[in-house]
Structure 1
Protein backbone atom coordinates (compact mmCIF):
# COMPACT_ATOMS: atom_id res chain seq x y z
CA UNK A 1 0.00 0.00 0.00
CA UNK A 2 1.38 3.41 -0.98
CA UNK A 3 1.64 6.22 1.54
CA UNK A 4 -1.13 8.08 -0.26
CA UNK A 5 -3.41 5.06 -0.13
CA UNK A 6 -2.62 4.48 3.55
CA UNK A 7 -3.34 8.12 4.34
CA UNK A 8 -6.62 7.98 2.45
CA UNK A 9 -7.63 4.84 4.33
CA UNK A 10 -6.79 6.46 7.68
CA UNK A 11 -8.87 9.53 6.84
CA UNK A 12 -11.79 7.32 5.83
CA UNK A 13 -11.60 5.39 9.10
CA UNK A 14 -11.49 8.58 11.16
CA UNK A 15 -14.47 9.96 9.25
CA UNK A 16 -16.39 6.74 9.86
CA UNK A 17 -15.59 6.78 13.60
CA UNK A 18 -16.56 10.42 13.81
CA UNK A 19 -19.82 9.73 12.01
CA UNK A 20 -20.66 6.86 14.34
CA UNK A 21 -19.94 9.07 17.39
CA UNK A 22 -22.10 11.86 15.98
CA UNK A 23 -25.02 9.50 15.41
CA UNK A 24 -24.77 7.66 18.74
CA UNK A 25 -24.41 10.91 20.66
CA UNK A 26 -27.47 12.30 18.92
CA UNK A 27 -25.35 14.96 17.24
CA UNK A 28 -25.40 16.95 20.47
CA UNK A 29 -22.43 18.93 21.82
CA UNK A 30 -20.75 17.73 24.98
CA UNK A 31 -22.61 18.63 28.17
CA UNK A 32 -20.67 21.51 29.72
CA UNK A 33 -22.29 20.74 33.09
CA UNK A 34 -21.70 16.98 33.16
CA UNK A 35 -19.31 17.21 36.10
CA UNK A 36 -21.97 19.01 38.17
CA UNK A 37 -24.88 16.61 37.64
CA UNK A 38 -25.76 13.75 39.95
CA UNK A 39 -28.01 12.04 37.42
CA UNK A 40 -29.57 12.32 33.99
CA UNK A 41 -32.37 14.78 33.32
CA UNK A 42 -34.96 13.42 30.90
CA UNK A 43 -36.95 15.67 28.61
CA UNK A 44 -37.26 19.41 28.32
CA UNK A 45 -37.83 21.30 31.57
CA UNK A 46 -38.38 25.01 32.07
CA UNK A 47 -39.16 27.76 29.63
CA UNK A 48 -41.00 31.05 29.38
CA UNK A 49 -43.66 31.97 31.92
CA UNK A 50 -45.83 34.95 32.78
CA UNK A 51 -46.87 35.41 36.42
CA UNK A 52 -47.70 38.14 38.93
CA UNK A 53 -45.23 39.35 41.55
CA UNK A 54 -45.82 40.58 45.10
CA UNK A 55 -46.39 44.13 43.82
CA UNK A 56 -49.21 42.95 41.55
CA UNK A 57 -47.11 43.43 38.42
CA UNK A 58 -47.17 40.94 35.56
CA UNK A 59 -43.64 39.64 35.03
CA UNK A 60 -41.98 37.15 32.72
CA UNK A 61 -39.19 34.67 33.29
CA UNK A 62 -36.76 37.20 31.79
CA UNK A 63 -37.79 39.73 34.45
CA UNK A 64 -37.38 37.26 37.30
CA UNK A 65 -34.37 35.14 36.33
CA UNK A 66 -31.69 37.82 36.12
CA UNK A 67 -29.12 35.72 37.98
CA UNK A 68 -28.84 32.04 38.98
CA UNK A 69 -32.16 31.14 40.60
CA UNK A 70 -33.61 28.33 42.71
CA UNK A 71 -37.27 27.94 41.78
CA UNK A 72 -39.77 26.14 44.00
CA UNK A 73 -43.49 25.50 43.37
CA UNK A 74 -45.62 25.43 46.53
CA UNK A 75 -48.31 27.39 48.38
CA UNK A 76 -48.45 29.67 51.39
CA UNK A 77 -51.03 27.62 53.33
CA UNK A 78 -48.79 24.55 53.13
CA UNK A 79 -48.44 23.33 56.74
CA UNK A 80 -44.93 21.89 56.74
CA UNK A 81 -43.35 20.79 53.45
CA UNK A 82 -43.19 24.19 51.72
CA UNK A 83 -41.82 26.11 54.72
CA UNK A 84 -39.15 23.46 55.25
CA UNK A 85 -38.13 23.33 51.59
CA UNK A 86 -38.06 27.08 51.05
CA UNK A 87 -36.07 27.68 54.24
CA UNK A 88 -33.62 25.00 53.08
CA UNK A 89 -33.33 26.84 49.76
CA UNK A 90 -32.77 30.13 51.59
CA UNK A 91 -30.01 28.53 53.67
CA UNK A 92 -28.33 27.36 50.45
CA UNK A 93 -28.54 30.90 49.06
CA UNK A 94 -26.85 32.24 52.20
CA UNK A 95 -24.08 29.62 51.99
CA UNK A 96 -23.49 30.62 48.38
CA UNK A 97 -23.40 34.30 49.32
CA UNK A 98 -20.64 33.53 51.82
CA UNK A 99 -18.64 32.13 48.90
CA UNK A 100 -19.29 35.13 46.70
CA UNK A 101 -22.14 33.72 44.58
CA UNK A 102 -25.36 35.70 44.20
CA UNK A 103 -28.42 33.46 43.78
CA UNK A 104 -32.13 34.32 43.93
CA UNK A 105 -34.66 32.02 45.62
CA UNK A 106 -38.02 32.05 43.81
CA UNK A 107 -41.37 30.84 45.17
CA UNK A 108 -44.18 30.12 42.68
CA UNK A 109 -47.63 29.51 44.15
CA UNK A 110 -49.70 26.65 42.79
CA UNK A 111 -52.73 27.85 44.82
CA UNK A 112 -53.83 30.99 42.95
CA UNK A 113 -57.31 30.96 44.52
CA UNK A 114 -55.88 31.87 47.93
CA UNK A 115 -52.40 33.15 47.18
CA UNK A 116 -52.78 36.81 46.33
CA UNK A 117 -49.74 38.95 45.50
CA UNK A 118 -49.74 40.17 49.12
CA UNK A 119 -49.85 36.59 50.41
CA UNK A 120 -46.88 35.38 48.35
CA UNK A 121 -45.06 38.61 49.16
CA UNK A 122 -45.45 38.15 52.92
CA UNK A 123 -44.56 34.46 52.73
CA UNK A 124 -41.42 35.10 50.70
CA UNK A 125 -40.26 38.05 52.79
CA UNK A 126 -40.53 35.91 55.93
CA UNK A 127 -38.33 33.23 54.37
CA UNK A 128 -35.57 35.37 52.84
CA UNK A 129 -35.17 39.05 51.89
CA UNK A 130 -34.15 38.10 48.35
CA UNK A 131 -36.93 35.60 47.76
CA UNK A 132 -39.24 36.48 44.86
CA UNK A 133 -42.87 35.48 45.40
CA UNK A 134 -45.02 34.81 42.33
CA UNK A 135 -48.67 33.95 41.77
CA UNK A 136 -51.10 34.57 38.92
CA UNK A 137 -54.31 33.45 37.34
CA UNK A 138 -55.17 29.76 37.27
CA UNK A 139 -54.12 29.68 33.62
CA UNK A 140 -50.80 31.43 34.24
CA UNK A 141 -49.93 29.13 37.13
CA UNK A 142 -50.88 26.03 35.13
CA UNK A 143 -48.70 27.12 32.21
CA UNK A 144 -45.69 27.74 34.46
CA UNK A 145 -46.21 24.41 36.22
CA UNK A 146 -46.44 22.55 32.92
CA UNK A 147 -43.26 24.23 31.67
CA UNK A 148 -41.38 22.85 34.68
CA UNK A 149 -43.30 19.57 34.61
CA UNK A 150 -44.51 19.92 38.18
CA UNK A 151 -47.60 18.29 39.68
CA UNK A 152 -50.28 19.83 41.88
CA UNK A 153 -53.85 18.95 42.80
CA UNK A 154 -56.05 20.83 45.24
CA UNK A 155 -58.20 18.80 47.59
CA UNK A 156 -61.87 19.63 48.34
CA UNK A 157 -62.07 23.43 47.97
CA UNK A 158 -65.41 23.54 49.77
CA UNK A 159 -63.24 23.39 52.90
CA UNK A 160 -61.51 26.75 53.35
CA UNK A 161 -58.55 24.93 54.90
CA UNK A 162 -58.07 22.63 51.92
CA UNK A 163 -54.58 21.30 51.20
CA UNK A 164 -52.84 21.02 47.84
CA UNK A 165 -50.86 17.93 46.84
CA UNK A 166 -47.79 18.92 44.86
CA UNK A 167 -44.32 17.89 43.73
CA UNK A 168 -41.41 19.20 45.76
CA UNK A 169 -38.44 19.64 43.43
CA UNK A 170 -36.34 22.79 43.41
CA UNK A 171 -35.10 23.86 39.98
CA UNK A 172 -31.78 25.56 39.25
CA UNK A 173 -32.09 27.99 36.36
CA UNK A 174 -29.31 30.12 34.89
CA UNK A 175 -29.86 33.29 32.83
CA UNK A 176 -29.15 32.82 29.11
CA UNK A 177 -28.95 29.06 29.74
CA UNK A 178 -32.25 28.05 31.32
CA UNK A 179 -32.93 25.01 33.47
CA UNK A 180 -29.79 23.01 34.28
CA UNK A 181 -30.72 20.67 37.16
CA UNK A 182 -33.09 19.98 40.02
CA UNK A 183 -32.79 19.15 43.72
CA UNK A 184 -34.85 16.64 45.65
CA UNK A 185 -36.14 17.23 49.16
CA UNK A 186 -33.33 15.14 50.63
CA UNK A 187 -30.67 17.55 49.40
CA UNK A 188 -29.07 19.55 52.21
CA UNK A 189 -28.28 23.28 51.96
CA UNK A 190 -24.59 22.37 51.73
CA UNK A 191 -25.19 19.93 48.88
CA UNK A 192 -27.32 22.47 47.04
CA UNK A 193 -24.69 25.17 47.48
CA UNK A 194 -21.90 22.90 46.25
CA UNK A 195 -23.74 21.81 43.11
CA UNK A 196 -25.09 25.28 42.36
CA UNK A 197 -21.58 26.73 42.61
CA UNK A 198 -20.35 24.04 40.23
CA UNK A 199 -22.98 25.00 37.63
CA UNK A 200 -22.25 28.71 37.99
CA UNK A 201 -18.52 28.15 37.58
CA UNK A 202 -19.05 25.88 34.57
CA UNK A 203 -21.33 28.43 32.88
CA UNK A 204 -18.61 31.05 33.18
CA UNK A 205 -16.03 28.97 31.32
Structure 2
Protein backbone atom coordinates (compact mmCIF):
# COMPACT_ATOMS: atom_id res chain seq x y z
CA UNK A 1 0.00 0.00 0.00
CA UNK A 2 1.20 3.51 -0.76
CA UNK A 3 -1.22 5.40 1.45
CA UNK A 4 -4.33 4.89 3.56
CA UNK A 5 -6.89 7.47 4.70
CA UNK A 6 -9.21 5.78 7.23
CA UNK A 7 -12.09 8.21 6.75
CA UNK A 8 -12.77 10.54 3.85
CA UNK A 9 -15.78 12.13 2.17
CA UNK A 10 -13.76 13.25 -0.87
CA UNK A 11 -13.13 9.90 -2.56
CA UNK A 12 -16.56 8.59 -3.51
CA UNK A 13 -20.13 8.37 -2.21
CA UNK A 14 -20.56 8.63 1.54
CA UNK A 15 -17.78 8.34 4.10
CA UNK A 16 -15.10 5.95 2.86
CA UNK A 17 -11.85 4.18 3.70
CA UNK A 18 -9.39 5.05 0.89
CA UNK A 19 -6.43 2.93 -0.17
CA UNK A 20 -3.78 4.10 -2.64
CA UNK A 21 -1.77 1.21 -4.05
CA UNK A 22 1.86 1.47 -5.11
CA UNK A 23 2.83 0.97 -8.76
CA UNK A 24 1.41 2.09 -12.11
CA UNK A 25 2.74 1.46 -15.61
CA UNK A 26 0.22 3.79 -17.32
CA UNK A 27 1.86 6.95 -15.96
CA UNK A 28 -0.51 9.61 -17.33
CA UNK A 29 1.14 12.99 -18.03
CA UNK A 30 0.05 15.41 -15.32
CA UNK A 31 -0.86 12.60 -12.89
CA UNK A 32 -1.67 13.86 -9.40
CA UNK A 33 0.29 11.05 -7.75
CA UNK A 34 3.50 10.34 -9.70
CA UNK A 35 5.13 9.26 -6.42
CA UNK A 36 2.98 6.12 -6.65
CA UNK A 37 4.18 5.06 -10.12
CA UNK A 38 7.19 3.00 -9.09
CA UNK A 39 7.00 -0.46 -7.57
CA UNK A 40 9.13 0.68 -4.64
CA UNK A 41 7.95 2.97 -1.88
CA UNK A 42 4.86 1.22 -0.60
CA UNK A 43 4.49 -1.15 2.33
CA UNK A 44 3.27 -4.74 2.20
CA UNK A 45 0.07 -5.47 4.06
CA UNK A 46 -1.98 -8.63 4.34
CA UNK A 47 -5.61 -8.75 3.29
CA UNK A 48 -6.54 -9.64 6.88
CA UNK A 49 -4.73 -6.66 8.38
CA UNK A 50 -6.10 -4.27 5.77
CA UNK A 51 -9.65 -5.50 6.37
CA UNK A 52 -9.22 -5.05 10.11
CA UNK A 53 -8.26 -1.41 9.50
CA UNK A 54 -11.54 -0.60 7.71
CA UNK A 55 -14.01 1.06 10.12
CA UNK A 56 -17.25 -0.90 10.26
CA UNK A 57 -19.36 2.28 10.07
CA UNK A 58 -18.02 3.71 6.79
CA UNK A 59 -20.09 3.24 3.63
CA UNK A 60 -17.30 1.51 1.79
CA UNK A 61 -13.76 1.38 0.48
CA UNK A 62 -12.22 3.28 -2.44
CA UNK A 63 -9.22 1.80 -4.26
CA UNK A 64 -6.92 4.25 -6.03
CA UNK A 65 -3.31 4.42 -7.07
CA UNK A 66 -1.11 3.78 -8.55
CA UNK A 67 -3.16 1.27 -10.49
CA UNK A 68 -5.32 -1.22 -8.58
CA UNK A 69 -5.68 -3.54 -11.58
CA UNK A 70 -1.93 -4.12 -11.68
CA UNK A 71 -2.28 -6.08 -8.42
CA UNK A 72 -5.86 -7.35 -8.73
CA UNK A 73 -5.52 -10.77 -7.10
CA UNK A 74 -5.12 -9.71 -3.47
CA UNK A 75 -7.28 -6.62 -3.96
CA UNK A 76 -10.03 -8.82 -5.37
CA UNK A 77 -9.97 -10.99 -2.23
CA UNK A 78 -9.98 -7.87 -0.06
CA UNK A 79 -12.86 -6.33 -2.02
CA UNK A 80 -14.93 -9.50 -1.70
CA UNK A 81 -14.50 -9.51 2.05
CA UNK A 82 -15.41 -5.82 2.31
CA UNK A 83 -18.63 -6.43 0.38
CA UNK A 84 -19.40 -9.48 2.52
CA UNK A 85 -19.59 -7.05 5.46
CA UNK A 86 -22.23 -5.01 3.60
CA UNK A 87 -19.86 -2.23 2.51
CA UNK A 88 -19.21 -1.08 -1.04
CA UNK A 89 -16.17 -1.00 -3.30
CA UNK A 90 -15.29 1.88 -5.63
CA UNK A 91 -12.26 1.36 -7.86
CA UNK A 92 -10.33 3.89 -9.95
CA UNK A 93 -8.41 2.61 -12.97
CA UNK A 94 -6.41 4.16 -15.77
CA UNK A 95 -7.53 1.29 -17.99
CA UNK A 96 -10.88 1.52 -19.80
CA UNK A 97 -13.70 -0.81 -18.85
CA UNK A 98 -13.38 -2.48 -22.27
CA UNK A 99 -9.69 -3.16 -21.66
CA UNK A 100 -10.42 -4.59 -18.22
CA UNK A 101 -13.22 -6.80 -19.49
CA UNK A 102 -10.90 -8.11 -22.20
CA UNK A 103 -8.15 -8.84 -19.65
CA UNK A 104 -10.67 -10.51 -17.35
CA UNK A 105 -11.17 -13.29 -19.91
CA UNK A 106 -7.65 -14.57 -19.28
CA UNK A 107 -6.72 -13.03 -15.91
CA UNK A 108 -8.64 -14.43 -12.95
CA UNK A 109 -7.42 -11.64 -10.67
CA UNK A 110 -8.78 -8.90 -12.93
CA UNK A 111 -12.07 -10.79 -13.24
CA UNK A 112 -12.26 -11.12 -9.46
CA UNK A 113 -11.66 -7.44 -8.72
CA UNK A 114 -14.10 -6.35 -11.43
CA UNK A 115 -16.76 -8.66 -10.02
CA UNK A 116 -16.22 -7.25 -6.53
CA UNK A 117 -16.39 -3.59 -7.65
CA UNK A 118 -19.67 -1.72 -7.24
CA UNK A 119 -18.58 1.51 -8.91
CA UNK A 120 -15.73 1.75 -11.43
CA UNK A 121 -14.10 4.97 -12.63
CA UNK A 122 -12.18 4.13 -15.79
CA UNK A 123 -9.81 5.74 -18.25
CA UNK A 124 -6.47 7.54 -18.11
CA UNK A 125 -6.22 11.07 -16.80
CA UNK A 126 -6.05 13.57 -19.68
CA UNK A 127 -4.76 16.98 -18.57
CA UNK A 128 -6.21 18.52 -21.76
CA UNK A 129 -9.76 17.55 -20.73
CA UNK A 130 -10.04 18.81 -17.15
CA UNK A 131 -13.47 18.01 -15.68
CA UNK A 132 -14.88 20.72 -13.44
CA UNK A 133 -18.44 19.40 -13.39
CA UNK A 134 -18.44 15.85 -12.00
CA UNK A 135 -17.17 14.82 -8.57
CA UNK A 136 -14.11 12.62 -7.94
CA UNK A 137 -12.73 12.48 -11.52
CA UNK A 138 -9.99 14.58 -13.08
CA UNK A 139 -10.83 14.60 -16.81
CA UNK A 140 -13.91 14.41 -19.01
CA UNK A 141 -12.83 11.21 -20.79
CA UNK A 142 -13.05 9.23 -17.56
CA UNK A 143 -16.27 7.29 -17.09
CA UNK A 144 -18.42 6.00 -14.25
CA UNK A 145 -19.71 2.42 -14.45
CA UNK A 146 -22.14 0.90 -11.95
CA UNK A 147 -21.06 -2.75 -11.94
CA UNK A 148 -23.64 -3.69 -9.32
CA UNK A 149 -27.09 -2.33 -8.51
CA UNK A 150 -25.80 -0.43 -5.47
CA UNK A 151 -24.97 2.80 -7.33
CA UNK A 152 -27.20 2.48 -10.39
CA UNK A 153 -29.17 5.62 -9.59
CA UNK A 154 -26.06 7.65 -8.79
CA UNK A 155 -24.52 7.28 -12.25
CA UNK A 156 -27.02 9.70 -13.79
CA UNK A 157 -27.25 12.08 -10.81
CA UNK A 158 -23.73 13.49 -10.44
CA UNK A 159 -25.11 16.99 -9.86
CA UNK A 160 -26.32 15.78 -6.45
CA UNK A 161 -22.79 14.86 -5.34
CA UNK A 162 -20.29 17.50 -4.26
CA UNK A 163 -16.68 17.51 -5.40
CA UNK A 164 -14.71 17.99 -2.19
CA UNK A 165 -11.10 18.70 -1.27
CA UNK A 166 -9.96 17.66 2.21
CA UNK A 167 -7.04 19.30 3.98
CA UNK A 168 -5.47 17.83 7.12
CA UNK A 169 -2.78 19.63 9.08
CA UNK A 170 -0.97 17.04 11.20
CA UNK A 171 0.58 17.71 14.59
CA UNK A 172 3.98 17.49 12.86
CA UNK A 173 3.05 20.49 10.72
CA UNK A 174 2.78 18.33 7.61
CA UNK A 175 -0.18 19.05 5.34
CA UNK A 176 -2.14 16.24 3.66
CA UNK A 177 -4.61 16.95 0.88
CA UNK A 178 -6.92 14.48 -0.81
CA UNK A 179 -9.66 14.89 -3.37
CA UNK A 180 -9.01 16.14 -6.90
CA UNK A 181 -7.92 19.70 -7.68
CA UNK A 182 -5.72 21.44 -10.19
CA UNK A 183 -2.18 22.14 -9.01
CA UNK A 184 -2.64 25.91 -9.07
CA UNK A 185 -5.71 25.61 -6.84
CA UNK A 186 -3.72 23.61 -4.29
CA UNK A 187 -0.87 26.12 -4.43
CA UNK A 188 -3.34 28.96 -3.79
CA UNK A 189 -4.90 27.01 -0.90
CA UNK A 190 -1.57 26.27 0.76
CA UNK A 191 -0.45 29.87 0.27
CA UNK A 192 -3.64 31.07 1.96
CA UNK A 193 -3.15 28.71 4.89
CA UNK A 194 0.40 29.94 5.27
CA UNK A 195 -0.67 33.60 5.23
CA UNK A 196 -3.39 32.94 7.80
CA UNK A 197 -1.02 31.13 10.12
CA UNK A 198 -2.76 27.78 9.72
CA UNK A 199 0.55 26.15 8.76
CA UNK A 200 4.06 27.20 9.72
CA UNK A 201 7.20 27.69 7.68
CA UNK A 202 8.77 24.77 9.52
CA UNK A 203 6.96 22.45 7.08
CA UNK A 204 9.26 23.74 4.36
CA UNK A 205 6.26 24.38 2.17
CA UNK A 206 5.89 20.70 1.42
CA UNK A 207 2.76 18.61 1.44
CA UNK A 208 1.64 15.08 0.74
CA UNK A 209 -0.96 15.47 -1.99
CA UNK A 210 -3.40 12.64 -2.69
CA UNK A 211 -6.20 12.48 -5.23
TM-score band by shorter chain is: under 0.3
Give the TM-score normalised by the residue count of structure 1.
0.26
* TM-score (norm. length: structure 2): 0.26
- Choose between structure 1 and 2: higher helix proportion: 1
Higher relative contact order (CA 8 A, sep 6+): 1
